[in-house]
Amino acid sequence: MILKLLLVIGVIAAVYFFFIKKSMPLTKERHNKKQKERDDETMVECATCNTYITTSEAVVSSGQFYCSTECRDKA
């Protein structure tokens, strides 16, 4: 009888952690992390060839974004 009760409690806990807890609103830390990930994927235009690249891939020089060191050297 106790084994069945523990099994039922375990199933209820598993359902809670897998389904209900995931649908809860984001905590402030998780929200900030997701916002930072989105900010890293901002598209910018190369100052020389007008190609769009992400800020994480861009080469920055004198406040300008470049798609490569070759474009930076041309400018």
Three-state SS at 34: helix
Q: What is the pLDDT of residues 17-74, one digit of tens each?
A: 887 766 656 566 666 666 666 666 788 999 999 999 988 888 998 889 999 999 999 8
Domain count, the chain: 2
Same domain, 27 and 59: no
Same domain, 65 and 51: yes
Mean per-residue pLDDT, 1-27: 81
Same domain, 12 and 33: yes
Residue with tokens 């930076």: 72
Instruction: Rounding to the nearest 10 degrees, give the CA dihedral for residues 56, 60, 66, 68.
Output: -80
Which residues form the domain of 15? 1-38
Same domain, 29 and 59: no
Same domain, 8 and 26: yes
Tell me, what's the pLDDT at 10? Answer: 92
Same domain, 47 and 24: no
DSSP bridge pairs for 52: 45
Same domain, 54 and 67: yes
